[in-house]
Amino acid sequence: MSIISDEKNNFKKVDINSRNPVIEPETNDNDKTFENSIRPKSFDSYIGQTALKETLKITIEAAKKREQPLDHLLFYGPPGLGKTTLAGVIAAQMGVEIKITSAPALERPRDIIGILMSLKGGEILFIDEIHRLNKVAEEILYPAMEDFFLDMTTGKAQTVKTLRLPLPKFTLIGATTKAGSLSGPLRDRFGIIHRLEFYTKEELAQVVKRTAGILEIDIDENGASAIASRSRGTPRIANRLVKRVGDFALVKADGKITGKIANEALDILKIDNCGLDTTDRNLLQLIIDKYNGGPVGVETLAAALGEDTRTLEDVCEPYLLQAGFIQRTPRGRKITPYALKHLGYSAKGFNGQQNLF
């Protein structure tokens, strides 16, 4: 997902990848409207991430008692797991406004300066894809995060002057799919760092039922469970599937999502029973066919598939790794016995990995 601000600081989400729209992190303004309409606004409606929620509730209570803004927070994890949503829930819980932007929208120094100067005391600034901040923007952020000051230089050559402008105390919430790509000094300035986990099938079934309820789509337990098990641990995907399967149910049946209808629709969408789509399966097949099961570098795979490396790394791989379809080794990605089984290879059917079973 990507949210950018335009000249007037209106925020909109833009597409950063070009993949199957069901699996893809974010696509267009319709998606944005849809997502916003179903975004949980409180901890009660925010499903799963139980340990993280409990920790955050305590942190928020403590900050309120001290009448201080929250420490700066960093959330990391694959796209669609609820980082932006959680930032919104925190703002609501603190009773403050949130301004949302993303690092690619903060290209010029004046972008970040403008947004920092627009903040009011206690407000939350959410920066998505924070690992993509450029050096200049990062350096402007350091004193702002640490001491709530903006260091600005004016004039040229010998007449250069540095100005220190005080900023109201604010909370920065950063979100990233790649915590490892964040510079050390920036990471160190976050008081609280949390990882968001993939959701269990049960949690996703709750997400599915909640979304179906908001969209007034009739769904039974089997329908919810079928969609949940093919949503690759990700609420954003679960929500998209509810909509797509809901359309299918309306056209092909009486509008109710049952297990049978869900499975039929998901088969047509080419999402298999583990939530893998065509790109995932092509990736696995490529490692098997062309690289004898791996290891093979992600750039090589991206070039062969005609995909963007970042899309593979940020969108495809986290789930394939977590679900045990591939392994990451120092020399590249390797297929696992589980993936071979899933793709229908028998123990003797694949020379390169025979001994894996």
Which stretches of the chain bind ligand ADP, using CB under 6 A? 1, 35, 38-40, 46-49, 79-85, 175, 207, 235-236, 239
Instruction: Report the nearest approach of ligand ADP to the CB of residue 89 (Å).
Output: 9
Nearer to ligand ADP, 48 or 122 (CB): 48
Answer yes or no: 230 catalytic. Answer: no
Provide the CB-side half-sphere exposure for 142 (13 A, CA): 12
How far is 136 from 158, CA to CA, in rounded Å?
21
Q: Which amino acid would we find at residue 253?
A: A
Q: In the complex, what is the shortest distance from the CB of residue 282 to ligand ADP, in angstroms, rounded to a whole number?
A: 24
Q: How far apart are CA 165 and CA 162, in angstroms?
A: 10
Residue nearest to ligand ADP (CB): 82
Q: How far apart are CA 271 and CA 281, in angstroms?
A: 10
154 noted as active-site residue: no
Q: Which of 265, 196, 268, 283 lies closest to 235, judged by CA?
A: 196
Residue 8 is a catalytic residue: no
For residue 281 the two structure tokens come to 């399966």
CA 268-273-274 angle, to 5 degrees, is 125
Note whether 294 and 333 are within 8 A (CB): yes
Q: Least distance to ligand ADP from the beta carbon of 316, Å?
A: 15
Q: At what angle do helices 201-214 and 235-252 cross, to 10 degrees?
A: 50
Which residue number, 2 or 353, has a Cβ lying nearer to ligand ADP? 2
Whole-angstrom Cα distance, residue 313 to residue 239? 22
How near is the Cβ of 38 to ligand ADP at its closest, in Å?
Answer: 5
**Catalytic residue selected from 177, 211, 258, 279:** 177
Minimum Å distance from CB 261 to ligand ADP?
22
What is the smallest separation between the CB atom of 310 and ligand ADP, expressed in angstroms?
Answer: 14
Task: Identify the active-site residue in 27, 84, 171, 311.
Answer: 84
- Catalytic pick among 189, 209, 230, 236: 236
Which residue, 74 or 301, is less far from ligand ADP as judged by CB?
A: 74
User: Residue 133: how many CB atoms within 10 A of its CB?
Assistant: 24
Reading the block at residue 180, the tokens are: 């490892």
Q: Is 83 considered catalytic here?
A: yes
What the block records as the tokens of 216 is: 């007034």
Of 13, 83, 99, 189, the active-site residue reads 83
Known catalytic residue at 84: yes
Residue 2 and residue 104 in contact, taking contact as beta carbons nearer than 8 Å: yes
- List active site positions: 83-84, 128, 177, 236
